[in-house]
């Protein structure tokens, strides 16, 4: 073998060092705490509940005669589960099922779910309803009646649906509609004109369907925005990690695992979202036109094609993928108004799985025999601080090691009105733990980690199953895995295949600018009274230097409305919840330096 020259040897050593740094290099996350501006809407943590598979019948809906605890046939455990994991929006009846759906005969069916049950469910959860309308010109009269049935119904004055989408995936023939701008434009405008003219129609959030699958180029998106920009509030985007015929939901390979987690971040979702934002920015510099990611998720081979073509088992891989995708959506919170994982129950990347054969089991057989809380559910629950208490996206920069060109880490960072810094980090490495160094740039001089949680599993395809101990859920993250060497730096040892959520709380106000010091909140500083048309009015008697969180609750403790508002002197009042029914309600006002509650009587 010929001798190797020093120059060649030096090149080999440098190349090896580059590879080592690439695979095992330092991971650094820098969070710009004081730059948090874009509100992370709770609707980003929504779910599509299409009339498909066992989403509704055999899923949420079991009928009033079932021995599974239910309210008017709707499972109490699923409703409570959606509330507990912070579901902020539910879209129904589709998806594609909306294209030919006739709501009139299904208003309140006895063996299915119609408008009455859907609105009752959203009200129980405390989430926003979103309805996808048929897109034909001939559908417009029925569509306007549907809007009025929900929003202007004297028999249900508490109902209100803000989000309405006209059509679904019109790049595919939708109930006979040609997938062209020439066909969709008049169909859209027929329904748009009708529902904008309903009572309260000017406050509706109207979403257009898209004429182009996001997996293709954005030319048609751009054309459609030019045509509809002055009318619409948002536009539909569907972006699945789509492998229903090639990736099994449980027995996937290591290569398939890496392909999915890469697609969930830099390989697919992140660059496409950046392209969309750039496209939107060209035509709407004000930022008013919003992206609605109303279908996203890992679409793999079903668990058993012969019995259910839609139900997947949800694994740790799906939890990691969900965390990465939600990080992307939150990063673009100034543009992304809502996002719906597909779907809620028993379909694709669901939050819950139900055992249709367990409906006859005695109640004392245990809830786990009838319901599975999936790893996706636990990601939603873990990420609740990211959209609570008026949390806003805090820009971050993440230097992450890579493996085969795949980023090993992703991160989500928010700051709420109580001053908490919420940091979620996912580590997709299947072999080893990775250390992350966190730097905070903030006016507060010192923070402490007050909450630390982790989701992980023993294998990349770990999952939860009926009647068995859960393998993937939220656990307390051991304090031995993290430290804060200084008040604004932290070091975290991320276990392999894990998602960690940290909440950091400021411990001092040294260095905080006077305008940022939070005033003590007392009842005498506000006037709270019942307003017109079932509303509650809150007026500040003095300016507030920092925002306060105002919440409206029913007597049974359900959250009905929430606003985070700074009272600057120019805007010193806020109105909550239109068309409350007669009754007693509670309003709370608070921030990090105090809170109070007051009961309000609606007597109209």
Contact 313, 320 (CB under 8 A): no
What is the three-state SS of 81-92? HHHHCCCCEEEE
pLDDT band at 19 (very low <50, low <70, confident <90, very high): very low
Contact 166, 175 (CB under 8 A): no
- Among 351, 371, 387, identify where a domain stops: 387
The tokens for 322 are 């969900």
The more confident residue out of 29 and 534 is 29
> What is the domain range of residue 562?
519-602
> What is the rounded distance in angstroms from the CA atom of residue 265 to the CA atom of residue 261?
7
- Any domain includes 445: no
Element (H, E) at 528: strand 526-530
Once rounded to an integer, what is the mean pLDDT over residues 526-551? 75
- Any domain includes 155: yes
Once rounded to an integer, what is the mean pLDDT over residues 299-317? 93
The more confident residue out of 77 and 14 is 77
The residue behind tokens 């392999």 is 496
The more confident residue out of 46 and 285 is 46
Provide DSSP, 296-339: EEEE-B-SBTTTBSSB---BHHHHHHHHHHHHHHHHTTTTEEEE
Lowest mean per-residue pLDDT among 178-192, 195-209, 478-492: 178-192
User: What are 249-283's pLDDT values in tens digits?
Assistant: 999 999 999 999 999 999 999 999 998 898 888 88
* 3-state SS assignment for residue 451: strand
The residues near 225 (Cβ < 8 Å, ≥ 6 apart) are 235, 279, 280, 283, 284, 289
The more confident residue out of 227 and 52 is 52
Once rounded to an integer, what is the mean pLDDT over residues 124-142? 93
Q: Give me the pLDDT at residue 582, please.
A: 76
Q: Taking phi first (over 0 means left), then psi (-120 to 50 degrees means alpha), and beta for anything else, what does residue 580 get?
A: beta
The tokens for 92 are 């129904």
> What is the rounded distance in angstroms from the CA atom of residue 131 to the CA atom of residue 115?
10
Q: Give me the pLDDT at residue 9, please.
A: 41
pLDDT band at 210 (very low <50, low <70, confident <90, very high): confident
Q: Does 173 score more than 50 pLDDT? A: yes
Once rounded to an integer, what is the mean pLDDT over residues 504-527? 60
Tally the domains of the chain.
2
User: What are 185-200's pLDDT values in tens digits?
Assistant: 888 999 999 999 999 9
Q: Give me the pLDDT at residue 499, please.
A: 98
User: What are 316-364's pLDDT values in tens digits?
Assistant: 999 999 999 999 999 999 999 999 999 999 999 999 999 865 444 444 4
User: What are 558-603's pLDDT values in tens digits?
Assistant: 677 777 777 654 456 777 776 777 777 878 887 766 777 787 877 6
CA 397 to chain centre: 22
Q: Does 246 score more than 60 pLDDT? A: yes
Once rounded to an integer, what is the mean pLDDT over residues 143-156? 96
Residue of 411, 249, 398 whose CA lies nearest to 326: 411
User: What are 399-454's pLDDT values in tens digits?
Assistant: 999 999 999 999 999 999 889 999 999 999 999 999 999 999 998 889 999 999 99
Q: Give me the pLDDT at residue 511, please.
A: 38
pLDDT band at 545 (very low <50, low <70, confident <90, very high): low
Q: Does 18 score more than 60 pLDDT? A: no
- Any domain includes 245: yes
- Any domain includes 91: yes
- Any domain includes 418: no
> What is the rounded distance in angstroms from the CA atom of residue 556 to the CA atom of residue 223?
49
Mean pLDDT of the chain: 85
Q: Give me the pLDDT at residue 74, please.
A: 93
- Any domain includes 587: yes
CA 547 to chain centre: 23
Q: Does 391 score more than 90 pLDDT? A: yes
The more confident residue out of 91 and 531 is 91
Q: Give me the pLDDT at residue 524, please.
A: 72
Query: What are the distances in angstroms from CA 508 to CA 419, 451, 512?
Result: 11, 18, 9
What percent of the chain has pLDDT above 70? 84
The more confident residue out of 221 and 258 is 258
Helix 316-331 / helix 269-283 crossing angle, nearest 10 deg: 20
Element (H, E) at 23: helix 6-24
Residue of 230, 247, 93, 233 whose CA lies nearest to 175: 93
- Any domain includes 138: yes
What percent of the chain has pLDDT above 90? 59
Q: Give me the pLDDT at residue 160, please.
A: 94
Q: Give me the pLDDT at residue 483, please.
A: 95
Q: Domain containing 552 — which CATH number?
A: 2.60.40.3080
Q: Domain containing 159 — which CATH number?
A: 3.20.20.80
pLDDT band at 1 (very low <50, low <70, confident <90, very high): very low
Q: Give me the pLDDT at residue 100, please.
A: 85
> What is the side-by-side strand order in the sheet with 559-565?
559-565, 548-553, 583-591, 594-602
> What is the rounded distance in angstroms from the CA atom of residue 245 to the CA atom of residue 514?
59
- Any domain includes 27: no
Lowest mean per-residue pLDDT among 23-27, 204-208, 438-442, 503-507: 23-27
pLDDT band at 461 (very low <50, low <70, confident <90, very high): very high
Query: What are the distances in angstroms from CA 91 to CA 22, 115, 133, 172, 435?
Result: 42, 12, 11, 19, 39
- Among 372, 387, 402, identify where a domain stops: 387
Q: Give me the pLDDT at residue 216, please.
A: 61
Q: Does 181 score more than 80 pLDDT? A: no
Q: Give me the pLDDT at residue 166, please.
A: 93
CA 484 to chain centre: 30
User: What are 222-242's pLDDT values in tens digits?
Assistant: 677 767 767 889 999 999 999
What is the three-state SS of 227-248? HHCCCCCEEEEEEEEECCCCCE
* Max CA distance (Å), the chain: 96
């Amino acid at each position: 073998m010929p001798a190797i020259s020093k120059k060649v040897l030096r090149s080999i050593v440098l190349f090896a060092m580059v590879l080592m740094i690439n695979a095992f290099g330092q991971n650094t996350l820098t969070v710009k705490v004081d730059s948090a501006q874009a509100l992370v809407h709770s609707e980003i943590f929504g779910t599509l509940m299409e009339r498909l598979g066992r989403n509704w019948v055999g899923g949420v809906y079991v009928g009033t005669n079932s021995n599974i605890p239910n309210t008017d046939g709707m499972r109490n455990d699923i409703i409570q589960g959606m509330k507990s994991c912070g579901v902020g929006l539910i879209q129904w009846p589709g998806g594609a099922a909306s294209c030919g759906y006739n709501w009139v005969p299904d208003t309140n069916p006895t063996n299915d779910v119609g408008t009455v049950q859907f609105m009752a469910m959203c009200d129980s959860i405390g989430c926003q309803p979103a309805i996808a309308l048929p897109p034909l010109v001939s559908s417009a009269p029925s569509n306007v009646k549907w809007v009025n049935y929900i929003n202007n119904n004297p028999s249900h004055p508490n109902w209100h649906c803000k989000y309405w989408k006209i059509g679904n995936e019109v790049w595919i023939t939708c109930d006979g509609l040609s997938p062209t701008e020439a066909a969709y434009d008049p169909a859209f405008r027929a329904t748009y004109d009708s529902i904008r003219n309903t009572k309260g129609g000017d406050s509706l959030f109207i979403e257009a369907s898209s004429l182009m699958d996001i997996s293709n180029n954005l030319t048609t998106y751009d054309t459609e925005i030019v045509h509809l920009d002055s009318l619409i509030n948002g536009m539909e985007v569907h972006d699945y990690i789509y492998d229903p015929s090639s990736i099994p939901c449980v027995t996937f390979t290591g290569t398939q695992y890496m392909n999915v987690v890469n697609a969930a971040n830099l390989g697919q979702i992140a660059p496409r979202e950046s392209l969309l934002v750039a496209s939107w920015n060209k035509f709407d510099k004000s930022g008013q036109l919003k992206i609605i990611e109303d279908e996203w998720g890992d679409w793999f081979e079903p668990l058993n094609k012969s019995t259910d073509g839609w139900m997947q088992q949800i694994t740790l891989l799906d939890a990691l993928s969900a965390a990465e995708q939600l990080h992307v959506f939150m990063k673009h919170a100034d543009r992304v108004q809502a996002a719906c994982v597909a779907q809620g129950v028993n379909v694709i990347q669901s939050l819950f799985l139900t055992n249709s054969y367990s409906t006859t089991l005695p109640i004392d057989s245990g809830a786990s025999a009838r319901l599975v809380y999936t790893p996706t559910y636990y990601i939603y629950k873990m990420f609740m601080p990211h959209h609570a208490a008026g949390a806003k996206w805090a820009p971050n920069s993440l230097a992450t090691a890579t493996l085969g060109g795949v980023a090993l880490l992703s991160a989500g960072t928010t700051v709420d009105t109580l001053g908490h810094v919420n940091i979620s980090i996912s580590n997709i490495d299947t072999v080893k733990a990775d250390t992350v160094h966190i730097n905070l740039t903030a006016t507060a001089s010192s923070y402490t980690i007050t909450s630390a949680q982790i989701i992980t599993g023993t294998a990349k395809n770990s999952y939860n199953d009926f009647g068995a101990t859960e393998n993937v859920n939220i656990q307390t993250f051991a304090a031995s895995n993290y430290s804060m060497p200084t008040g604004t730096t932290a070091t975290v040892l991320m276990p392999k295949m894990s998602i960690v959520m940290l909440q950091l709380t400021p411990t001092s106000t040294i260095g905080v600018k006077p305008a940022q010091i939070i005033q003590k909140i007392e009842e005498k500083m506000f006037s709270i009274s019942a307003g017109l048309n079932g509303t509650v009015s809150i007026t500040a008697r003095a300016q507030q230097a920092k925002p306060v969180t105002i919440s409206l609750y029913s007597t049974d403790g359900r959250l009905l409305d929430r606003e985070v508002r700074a009272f600057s002197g120019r805007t010193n009042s806020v109105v909550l919840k239109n068309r409350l029914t007669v009754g007693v309600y509670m309003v709370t006002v608070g921030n990090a330096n105090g809170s109070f509650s007051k009961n309000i009587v609606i007597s109209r």
